[in-house]
Amino acid sequence: MMADRTSRSAAHWLRHNIEFRTLVFLALAVAAVWGFAELADEVIEGATRNLDRDLLLLLRTEGNVDDPLGPPWFEEVMRDLTALGGIAVLTLTLVAVAGFFLLRGRIGSMIFLLAAVGGGLFISTIAKQAFDRPRPDLVPHGSIVHTASFPSGHSMMAAVVYLTLGVLVSRILPQRRLKSYVLAVAALVTILVGMSRVYLGVHWPTDVLAGWLAGVAWAFVCMLGARALARRGDIEPEADEGAMAARARSSAP
């Protein structure tokens, strides 16, 4: 019983101690940036060349690099998943959620969302131009590509858009299970988009990993920004399940 009470007290403290949570988010953002920098250094030196090649070929039929593993319908599923990280789908999603915030009168959240995604797109574009890594040439591309390979823009922008959306949407949901569900779906979509890019042969695996790291780092930075703006009253504060339950009890007859 004592252990249970201690555990609940610790969990309550972690949820409500803003400064500690801010430090955790900051540490995660720094860790993601550090991971990206280390990976980029390895890629520039060519240390990941063999690993990239082996993993890419692992997803091809043995003896026929033109044929991805799996039946034709699975290849079509991968193309559908990769579209979730494309400009058209991301823009449509962004506009839809921005409209949702606008209709709810949450103008601050809408502006913050647009700025966060715009910033992520700018970083992705600059990074691609800076590294200018060629696309894989070992296998045919299963999707049309025009830009450089490192980092994966689909993977990074999927992380930026879906994780940022997940953070902002979860902020207005008081129930912790709903918050967890929204964030889990955002993370799952991000992972699937990245995996589809390697399967279709348009990115080296390290391109996708770099895109995930950069996108996650930016998403954590945006999360910190949202918390800071909420304290200043520029965007709406996060909904709290405990506070709403307390208000409901106090208003009950």
Which residue among 12, 16, 141, 154 is the active-site one? 154
- Can you state the percent helix, strand and coil of the chain, rounding each to 5? 75, 5, 25
CB-based contacts of 119: which residues, under 8 Å, 6+ apart?
Answer: 218, 222
Task: Tell me if residue 203 is catalytic.
Answer: yes
- Contact present, 160 and 218 (Cβ < 8 Å): yes
**Structure tokens belonging to residue 169:** 């949407």
- Contact present, 195 and 142 (Cβ < 8 Å): no
Which residue among 16, 141, 146, 203 is the active-site one? 203
Handedness of CA 59, 64, 68, 71 (dihedral sign): negative
Helices and strands counted in the chain (H then E) = 11, 2
> How many angstroms separate the CA atoms of 89 and 198, rounded?
19
> How many angstroms separate the CA atoms of 48 and 215, rounded?
21
CA neighbor of 205 nearest in space, from 214, 195, 190: 195
DSSP category for residue 136: P
Query: Rounded to the nearest 10 degrees, how much is the dihedral formed by the CA atoms of 68, 72, 78, 84?
Result: 150
Task: Tell me if residue 12 is catalytic.
Answer: no
Q: Catalytic residue numbers?
A: 154, 203
